Chain A
């Protein structure tokens, strides 16, 4: 399979007056052409920062302080602002969480869509409109000609998110980064949006990075999953393996904590404690304070990712040599 994008040893720091916080630590990932990768983790695990750092969309005081992001054979993390603008919203699009916040309330949908096209493509206004209509049809917006002239408040939440998806498709990107695209929506609308994303990825052979905290959603949509904890990838592998045969104690805990996994007992299997704050990161494995399988050296050294037989990689000393 052909690689679409790969990230090597990426570090993202937030430089504050008294301290530097590392939100993403030594993350390496690969995504192939047309592949759907899920990034899961709790709030504060660094999943959005990781997603945004791919297209260098981190606002100050955050910045990429190490590693590389290779896309089309070039390290785009070193790109200048102007060079990056040619990639962003063009070859790599992003879909944000809240469709209310993403669309400009004082411009019509048509204006906002054409803006994107004219910024990236050398086409006439008429051709641009034709592209808009084509993409709106693709995301199943009824009577698109009429809809183009309407403002965001005239659409429901689900429709708005579909328009944002249409905007992200305008330039036929090869990769879409979707950051919690359905968190602000209801279940029935969520199902609709996820079906649509999945269909679009399959028909156009588009890559998708789906950032979410919802294990059920990623398990249905993606082919591979990366589990993030305290800024690090603790486990990454094929979706069936991560969901069906998780190896890292954190992934195991997360899955067991789901109500549907409560195996008939009344109590849920909870993970004690909570994720350490970036201000107060343990020296060793970040999960060690909550871990049931911790060993002596877990408090001192950070485990690196090791290959497992099932095709997954896991960062845990308890799995070393064992399996």
Chain B
């Protein structure tokens, strides 16, 4: 399969130290200047194949949204390279990025925040078409918008309604329509169903899967809901504190998780009709991404951690099963 997107050694750090005065610290009677940096994404390498759904899972604060936004060019990475069909896109100027923007679209989590409340559904959907295709006539734009609205299941006769007149599920349909209207190849969906009710979640997931079948789309699907990921994804990358700790096909990851964090995460999912107990429980809390632990980022909560884990950052290694895992214990065959 062809690689659509390549993410190579990407780091994304945010400086949150504030103004010069905020950075000053008094230490041992001396004033020093100290920067506070959130290390949101660290050394992430991933490939997204054409036509697949690559899911990124992890708990809040693990950097999954930051990664998606970096891929989309909403943030510039501090280090590393991103390629789209072999062309480097992370260092492009806004102007040179334009042709890629029609190919790469994004769906955001909260359909209440991602639609401009002062624009009608029609305006929201027409804006990207007009911007990227200035030569199209009004009629053509209108047809294109109506076609996409039908496809996502929003009746075009509601085109003159404002976002507040739609329910959460319908708003998310409009967000998806906005992404589809440019006929992209790649969509980064950042928790597209997290804000919706169960019965509406199924509708939106079906819509995303139908659109993929019809248009041959590639998805980067960000989610914290593992049962959804198990259903929709081709491959899954598990992130913890800005690092990818395991990458595998969905079937392999769910039936044979390797990394201790993946194992704990999977056993924490509540199952319908399941019983409590017998889970691998994690102790402690996720450390802050401001002061990353040395060595493996997971060692503080890992029951298999040893001396090496606290010192050396584990490299990603491919196993025979195809799973890529970053763990010393797996490498040393301790687990």
Contact = CB atoms under 8 A, between A and B. Distances in A.
B199 A258 contact: no
B187 to A, nearest CB: 18
A187 B224 contact: yes
A255 to B, nearest CB: 7
Contacts of B227: 216, 258-260
Contacts of A87: none
B92 interface: no
A1 B61 CA distance: 46
Given A216-B269, A243-B272, A188 B264 contact: yes
Interface string B261-299: 000110111111111110101100110000000000000
Contact of A244 (B226, B273, B276): B273
Contacts of B167: 274
Contacts of B332: none
Contacts of A216: 227, 269-272, 274
A243 B275 CA distance: 13
Nearest to A221: B276
B317 to A, nearest CB: 24
B270 A214 contact: yes
Q: How large is the interface on B (under 10, 10 to 19, 20 to 34, 35 or more residues)?
A: 35 or more
Contact of B198 (A42, A189, A192): A42
Query: Interface residues of A: mostly helix, strand, loop or mixed?
Result: helix
B169 interface: yes
Interface stretch (B72-80, B142-150, B202-210, B321-329): B202-210
A200 interface: no
A254 B201 CA distance: 10
Given A220-B276, A267-B209, A270-B203, A188 B268 contact: yes
B281 A198 contact: no
A220 B271 contact: yes
A257 B201 contact: yes
B272 A219 contact: yes
B231 A262 contact: yes
Given A186-B224, A271-B202, A274-B200, A243 B273 contact: yes
Nearest to B269: A187
A194 interface: yes
Contacts of A220: 270-271, 274-276
B202 A188 contact: no
Interface residues of A, number: 44
Interface string B241-279: 000000000000000000000001101111111111101
A13 to B, nearest CB: 23
B277 A215 contact: no
A259 B225 CA distance: 10
A266 interface: yes
A188 B269 CA distance: 8
A43 interface: yes
B183 interface: no
B16 interface: no
Given A219-B274, A270-B206, A213 B228 contact: no
Given A42-B199, A268-B205, A191 B268 contact: yes
A254 B199 CA distance: 6
A292 B299 CA distance: 52
Given A194-B270, A259-B227, A266 B200 contact: no
B123 interface: no
Nearest to A272: B203
B197 interface: yes
A189 B285 CA distance: 9
A270 B199 contact: yes
A278 interface: no
A289 interface: no
A269 interface: yes
Nearest to A268: B202
B269 to A, nearest CB: 6
B272 A257 contact: no
Greatest chain A CB density within 10 A among B228, B270, B271, B276 is at B270
Interface in B178-205: 197-203, 205
Those 7 A-B pairs whose CB atoms lie nearest each other, nearest first: A259-B231, A216-B270, A257-B202, A186-B59, A191-B268, A42-B197, A270-B202
Given A217-B270, A259-B227, 11 more contacts: A189-B59, A192-B282, A194-B270, A195-B276, A195-B281, A216-B270, A220-B276, A259-B228, A259-B230, A268-B205, A272-B203
24 contacts: A42-B197, A42-B199, A42-B200, A43-B197, A156-B285, A187-B226, A187-B268, A188-B264, A190-B270, A191-B270, A195-B276, A195-B277, A215-B272, A219-B270, A219-B274, A220-B274, A257-B198, A258-B227, A259-B205, A259-B228, A262-B231, A274-B167, A274-B169, A274-B199
